[in-house]
Structure 1
Amino acid sequence: MASKIVSVDAGSPAARAGLRAGETLLQIDGTAIRDVLDYKFYSYDARLTLRVLEADGESVREVRVRKREGEPLGLNFEHYLMDGMKQCSNKCVFCFIDQLPRGMRKTLYVKDDDARMSFLMGNYISMTNLSDADVDRILRMHISPVNISVQTTNPELRVKMLQNRRAGEALRIMKRFAEGGITMNCQLVVCKGLNDGEELRRSLNDLKKLYPAVNTISVVPFGMTRHREGLYPLEATDKPCAEAILDIVEPFAQECLRELGTRLVWCGDELYLKAERPLPNTVYYEEFTQFENGIGMLPLFMEEFRLALPDYEGRAARPFTIATGTAAAPSLAVLLDEAAAKCDNLSGRVVAIRNDFFGPLVSVAGLITGQDLIAQLKGRDLGERVLISANMLRDGGDVFLDDCTPEQVSDAIGVPIVPVEIDGADLLAKIFED
């Protein structure tokens, strides 16, 4: 699919070669450019010949470009992927998007399942919409790593869980990736009574056989909202279920550490919290490869806080409130107590926000809405500001999941909202901010 150039970076190789906004990129060195992967792959070399359609839509010209090997050309296109995003063709029994209430903004209901987004943005894909040609292309271009939502290596069970007849082909594709030297990071979303227990053991053992191509595995619990009318009957991950998952994964990880030199598999922080077990220390998580999946996020946050705390000893701070999810609230309260013991007149509190919008079983901070903040904070003594996790807000920090803005929440509760990055040191910096 030809892509129109909307801008050219100043001083870039493309700008020096005379490429212009309004033109359409057709080919690089004789190869048709279909999307962003073609563009990045075929523009790597130091000397290139580009074929472009001029802005008049009729004339075609060739442009020669010289640059450093691997240096970006500097072209920007109408769409990031340069063509349409591949949509998810599954009906996963655990899908969080299917559990959203009606009436939210349309972008929240979009389900992508695009291998290009896995490579470029770290998204996890099911591979059910990958053709053999797509697999060949990934191998030819050596697109790596690929992040894969595996769920189970049992073909029949995977078809059942993803509600897609092609879902059972996953292990075959993964074996091809492994043979081709593609690195894979895998995720298992565990649903009670489906892919836990012996099925979880099977999946872990099957994935271990693909090491080192399978680089990491995360095991996370299915998230249940209160909006599951008409969906597959699933049970929430309770304490016994979380304990059982940890009792399978942790010994397996220890076995991998002895045999492979890496634990290979890690459980999400939420499983430890649900099981009411201590979180591992940060050394346990090795390279934190699956941090964005909630793997080691809270232990790292707490360590960052404690390492930064000596810089604030003896200092005072304006009164404040930390509003967070029910899962992280006890840990943040511990940190606040530690800070109060070393700082002068630290007047702050942690408020656990119950998720009434999605339901009380949703306990993470990132899914708290503006309306729940207003309902549970309005009329309380909050000090001079409320600190919240920045991941409650859309990228850009302008709106909560329910389309409330930080300004609307601030107006309703009477104090400013201050977003904090997922970084313990940033929390301290915001607490002591003048």
Structure 2
Amino acid sequence: MPKGALVFQIQPGSLADRIGLQPQDIILSINGNEVRDLIDYQYLTAEEKIKLDVLHPDGYQESLLIIKEEDEDLGIRFEAAVFDGIRHCQNRCCFCFIDQLPSGLRSSLYLKDDDYRLSFLHGNFVTLNNLREDDLERILKWHLSPLYVSVHTTDPELRSRLMGNRHAGRIMEHLKRLSAGGITIHAQIVLCPGLNDRAYLRQTILDLAKLGPNIASVGVVPVGLTRFRENLTDLRSFTGEEARDCIELIQQLQLKFKRQRGERFVFLSDEFYLLAGVNFPAREFYEDFPQLENGVGLSRLFLDEFTKLAAHLPKSLDHAQEVLVITGQLGYLVLKQVLPAFEDIDRLKVKLHAVDNLFFGPAITVTGLLTGQDIYHSLTRSLTSRPDRVIISEVMLKMGTTLFLDDWTVDDLEERLGVSVQVAPNNAQGLIEAVINRKLTRRPRRHPLRSSFK
């Protein structure tokens, strides 16, 4: 296929529609410039006068001239954000989750991207190990910010060893240059007990903080280990005591940064608090939740939202229902805190069921990595009565589909269980509305009575 941007969809009535562009057309260049990705496209189409060189599916090539308002959208949608091929990961990280996947899953799950463009456009974490000089210049020139960077450690030798890449030791050099150039960085540390934790972790966080305010946040997450680790580095999961040690270290650093920077800067993912058996910090400790996509603060948001919405739960349902809510082992520790709120609803019986992850192994305890077959086998082994509905979270499914990681569909699970399976949005309101099987009606807030006595 010729190099260029493959058109996926044309918005009806748009400029692109009016000049005759259609899906499967390929935009070869814009104003004579190569179009490598969505960044190029957005930059080049911001002008008022645009010349598109287009190749049609029948092989006919033509140039199309568009006169428009500055920054007016052409109405073209693309299937991918990168047109010249995703940059693949060149690392061999000892903790890589993709290396721990079993064979036979859908091909997209094995894709290892390490592309700074996807970091800017979609928030993907990248290592910066494959950056070329022209990449750095482009990031700085076009101010591609923020970027999300997998740091793991700032110790050059340790980082090279952890990532199996001799170029990995240059991370501080790259971060200094980018942050000095005004690029905001959100950093990630995948923490492995006995490797990059304790003194290494402390030094890494301090090194990042010294780079100034453009290193905006650091998220620390525990390593995830499946049962498919044959011929891989011998790693282990954190113990509860080690998780408590991590919490203590991060709390000390947060106090230090709060005094120095006016912000806490570094945050632990929810798993550490659950492993340690420690309550999540209050909402204000997460500040503006800069590492939410990294699983930092999701549980606190959920619990706070649920508490607010619980005041609007109905007193009774129209007919009796028994509902079973499916979750992972860690999710169970969160959801069991809110389950009592449903006990006061007449004609409703809610049970919570934690599923062991047999597919990936018992060390994988997050809800988002449960498979259809794990849910099925768990329920068929333990259910003593059949519920009216089974509720699962959307995080178990491929985005925009009903497909589990093992290629089971929601329909497959429903058919095998013989029970209706309902998918709930991954938030408190979504769970509540799925459980009560209707939209939540918020009662008006009561204002305190004003005394007429002076």
The TM-score range, normalised by the shorter chain, is over 0.9
Q: Kindly indicate whether residue 338 of structure 2 is the aligned counterpart of residue 335 of structure 1.
A: yes
What is the aligned partner in structure 2 of residue 361 from structure 1? 363
- Distance in 2 between residues matched to 1:2 and 1:29, nearest whole Å: 13
Structure 1 residues 308 and 229: CA distance shift in structure 2, 3 A: same
What is the aligned partner in structure 2 of residue 30 from structure 1? 32
- Distance in 2 between residues matched to 1:363 and 1:79, nearest whole Å: 32
Partner of 1:312, secondary structure, is coil
Structure 1 residues 19 and 427: CA distance shift in structure 2, 3 A: same
Q: Kindly indicate whether residue 419 of structure 2 is the aligned counterpart of residue 411 of structure 1.
A: no
21-30 vs 166-175, which moves further: 21-30
- Distance in 1 between residues matched to 2:52 and 2:377, nearest whole Å: 57
- Distance in 1 between residues matched to 2:8 and 2:356, nearest whole Å: 45
Partner deviation per Cα, 1:47-105 (whole Å, 9 max, x = no partner): 333333455545442412303x3333222346442221111111101111111122222
Q: Kindly indicate whether residue 190 of structure 2 is the aligned counterpart of residue 186 of structure 1.
A: no
Offset of 1:413 from its aligned partner?
2.0
Q: Kindly indicate whether residue 401 of structure 2 is the aligned counterpart of residue 400 of structure 1.
A: no
Partner of 1:207, secondary structure, is helix
Contact 1:333 / 1:349 at 8 angstroms: preserved in 2? no
Offset of 1:230 from its aligned partner?
0.6
Please report the TM-score for the alignment, with normalisation by the length of structure 2: 0.91
Structure 1 residues 409 and 30: CA distance shift in structure 2, 3 A: same
Partner of 1:254, secondary structure, is helix
- Distance in 1 between residues matched to 2:192 and 2:428, nearest whole Å: 31
198-207 vs 408-417, which moves further: 408-417
- Distance in 2 between residues matched to 1:33 and 1:86, nearest whole Å: 16
Contact 2:342 / 2:350 at 8 angstroms: preserved in 1? no
Contact 1:5 / 1:24 at 8 angstroms: preserved in 2? yes
Structure 1 gaps, min length 5? none
92-101 vs 374-383, which moves further: 374-383
Partner of 2:353, secondary structure, is strand
Structure 1 residues 78 and 220: CA distance shift in structure 2, 3 A: closer
- Distance in 2 between residues matched to 1:393 and 1:345, nearest whole Å: 30
What is the aligned partner in structure 2 of residue 267 from structure 1? 268
Q: Kindly indicate whether residue 50 of structure 2 is the aligned counterpart of residue 48 of structure 1.
A: yes
What is the aligned partner in structure 1 of residue 444 from structure 2? none
Structure 1 residues 223 and 4: CA distance shift in structure 2, 3 A: closer
Contact 1:321 / 1:382 at 8 angstroms: preserved in 2? no
- Distance in 2 between residues matched to 1:314 and 1:343, nearest whole Å: 5
Q: How does 1:312-391 map to 2 (within 5 A)?
A: 312-316=313-317, 318-340=321-343, 342-378=344-380, 379-391=383-395
Decide which of 60, 63, 81 is 1:61's aligned counterpart: 63
- Distance in 1 between residues matched to 2:270 and 2:419, nearest whole Å: 31
Contact 2:190 / 2:222 at 8 angstroms: preserved in 1? yes
Q: Kindly indicate whether residue 112 of structure 2 is the aligned counterpart of residue 111 of structure 1.
A: yes
Q: CA RMSD in A?
A: 1.8
What is the aligned partner in structure 2 of residue 10 from structure 1? 12
Partner deviation per Cα, 1:218-257 (whole Å, 9 max, x = no partner): 0010011111111011121111221121111111112212
Partner of 1:311, secondary structure, is coil
Structure 1 residues 109 and 59: CA distance shift in structure 2, 3 A: closer
Contact 2:274 / 2:333 at 8 angstroms: preserved in 1? no
- Distance in 1 between residues matched to 2:365 and 2:23, nearest whole Å: 47
Partner of 2:220, secondary structure, is strand
Amino acid at match of 2:4: A
Offset of 1:2 from its aligned partner?
2.0
Partner deviation per Cα, 1:178-223 (whole Å, 9 max, x = no partner): 1111111110000011110110011100111123111111001001
Give the count of matched residue pairs.
432
Structure 1 residues 425 and 93: CA distance shift in structure 2, 3 A: same
Contact 2:269 / 2:295 at 8 angstroms: preserved in 1? yes
Contact 2:35 / 2:83 at 8 angstroms: preserved in 1? no
Structure 1 residues 54 and 224: CA distance shift in structure 2, 3 A: closer
Amino acid at match of 2:50: L
Q: Kindly indicate whether residue 428 of structure 2 is the aligned counterpart of residue 424 of structure 1.
A: yes
Contact 1:305 / 1:427 at 8 angstroms: preserved in 2? no
Q: Kindly indicate whether residue 167 of structure 2 is the aligned counterpart of residue 166 of structure 1.
A: yes
Partner of 1:144, secondary structure, is coil
Offset of 1:365 from its aligned partner?
0.3
Amino acid at match of 1:216: S
308-317 vs 248-257, which moves further: 308-317
Amino acid at match of 1:2: G
- Distance in 2 between residues matched to 1:79 and 1:323, nearest whole Å: 33
- Distance in 2 between residues matched to 1:194 and 1:94, nearest whole Å: 11
Partner of 1:321, secondary structure, is strand
Contact 1:150 / 1:186 at 8 angstroms: preserved in 2? yes
Offset of 1:41 from its aligned partner?
1.7
Offset of 1:23 from its aligned partner?
4.0
What is the aligned partner in structure 2 of residue 99 from structure 1? 100
Partner deviation per Cα, 1:114-173 (whole Å, 9 max, x = no partner): 111111111101111111111111111111111001101111111001001111111111
Partner of 1:233, secondary structure, is coil
Structure 1 residues 355 and 5: CA distance shift in structure 2, 3 A: closer
What is the aligned partner in structure 2 of residue 147 from structure 1? 148
- Distance in 2 between residues matched to 1:420 and 1:54, nearest whole Å: 42
